A and B are shown apart, each in its own frame.
Chain A
Amino acid sequence: MNSPIQLQPDETFILNVGPQHPATHGVLRVKMEMSGEYIVSAETVIGYIHRMHEKMGEIKTYPQFLMNLSRMDYLGALGYSHGHVLLVEKACAIEVPERAEYLRVVMVELNRIASHLFWFGAFVMDLGGFTPLMYALQDREHILDMLEAVTGSRLTYCYFRFGGLYNDVDDQFITAARTFIPRMRKSLKKYRRLVTDNVIFRKRLTGIAPLSPEMCRKYGASSAVARGSGINFDVRRNEPYSVYPEFDFDVPVFHAGDSLARYMVRMEEIEQSLRIVEQALDKLPDGPVMAAKKPKLIKAPPGDYYQAVETARGSFGIRLVSDGGKTPYRLKLRSPTYSNMHLFDEACQGMLIMDALAFMGSLDLVIPEIDR
């Protein structure tokens, strides 16, 4: 007796994507008002895995909060820790040995490559190709093994300390990193032949979800979302920190603004990160990896401090308000995907649903990092 539902020509229906859906890569929900296959409007619902890291920042002392940062973004955790240690070192005027800073950059860049590789695999899988994920995970495994040997963990690192590093690297790590670079370059060629030059892949992405530079600015977008829209913005270049000015690397910028441009930016960034790792290993100075002079109890002088770093997902900002106590008075974490995801609602209007999911994949979302 069930007759099919007849929709009126101008009638719309609500489609829930998520909170448990493979395309959302985590617990993210998008409430879409659909007219057939087309999205009329969308409302992103976040907060499903909100853990209130900012409150923990107020309760925990500075060193106790170190491990929280790597639990925000589980794919590119070291970039976030880097921002935190740089901020506290700036506030407390702690001098970091040069070797430690070089090694930080090596680790952050390796982590960035690992993050981009996982994104690459997952993104192509969103579009229906399964094999590239396996290749990407194989390459990523080499990085995780290297990082595990030095830091002790595979994803949620707690390697950076105020004033330096938890431990020094050994010759084995240097050798592994040096053999990884040519290996990864070879893989990049393979990815180019397998995925980037694939006609079906290109047709799915070219012209999809073009973002204007103006829209990126209104939403505060960064990373490949901004650089794919012709904005030459990379915190490593625009607001140099750590030892990044020492290295010769390019900031890839594409002007089309579509999903393919965002893809191209990230693939190009892997090569640039390899260049940075290569140069950092060449220039790696000898010496200690921990500051000799460091206060026993970390207390930031009263005032406001801000530090921005370029993580795998964009411009991560951390704002500290200190009243001179053992714990921060207020610690604000500005997560880059939060701003990048925010523009989805506006940008996906009028789009086909499968294009919108491809667009969502090109934003490189990590939900725990949005929800914090």
Chain B
Amino acid sequence: MICDKTRQALADLFPPTTEPEPGNEEKPSEGARSNGLVERDYRVHGYHLDAQLDPGQLLAAVTILDELAFFLESITGVDWPATEEMEVVYDFSRYDFDLCRVVLRTRVNRNTPDVPTITGIYAGANWHERETHDFFGIHFVGHPHLIPLLLPEDADFHPLRKDFQA
């Protein structure tokens, strides 16, 4: 089962102390939660593995998924002004009948939202990262061409930030 394999590969990223305790898994994913790997009920949530990591661990995790032949579904952001954080969410899936959907998420400070780019691993991340930069102002460090994609070329606003006023 590819899901077990992926879980084991991703679990290496987390020191044993940050493994979620059984009691923590019941908590809804809303709001801040500590880094770690959680298995979700596919029938309810629509994905299997949910890993929250540090921005620094991102490239290692994406490399693992690349080696396991995952493809990139999408990259997006979520703004959490209450905790002064910005979340970047990566969806991965596979061209396979052994179904496994993986969500990687990382949280950064809302005032300095710097996340490393994954365009070096997935060329298709280019547009997704530009779009996320448009909508949230998340800065993908090392992105080759981080200019507005969907918004006008002179756009200096980020419409999906919760404090955006039209």
Contact = CB atoms under 8 A, between A and B. Distances in A.
Interface of A: 46-47, 50, 52, 54-55, 58, 87, 90-91, 213, 216-220, 226, 231-233, 237-239, 301-308, 315, 317, 319, 321-324, 329-330, 332, 334, 338-339, 342-343, 346, 371-372
B123 interface: yes
A238 B97 contact: yes
A13 B153 CA distance: 23
B95 A47 contact: no
B150 A47 contact: yes
B151 interface: yes
28 contacts: A46-B150, A47-B148, A47-B149, A47-B151, A58-B160, A216-B71, A218-B124, A220-B73, A239-B93, A239-B99, A302-B29, A302-B30, A303-B28, A304-B47, A304-B50, A305-B44, A306-B103, A308-B73, A317-B73, A317-B91, A319-B91, A321-B78, A330-B160, A332-B89, A334-B73, A339-B124, A343-B124, A346-B123
B123 A306 contact: no
B28 A332 contact: no
- Name A's interface SS: mixed
A371 B89 CA distance: 20
Interface residues of B, number: 39
Q: Which 5 A-B pairs have the closest CB atoms?
A: A219-B124, A306-B46, A47-B150, A334-B74, A233-B95
A137 B93 CA distance: 36
Interface of B: 28-30, 43-47, 50, 69, 71-74, 76, 78-79, 89, 91, 93, 95-97, 99, 101, 103, 122-124, 126-127, 135, 148-152, 159-160
Interface centre among B44, B46, B89, B135 (most CB of A within 10 A): B46
A238 B96 contact: yes
B120 to A, nearest CB: 11
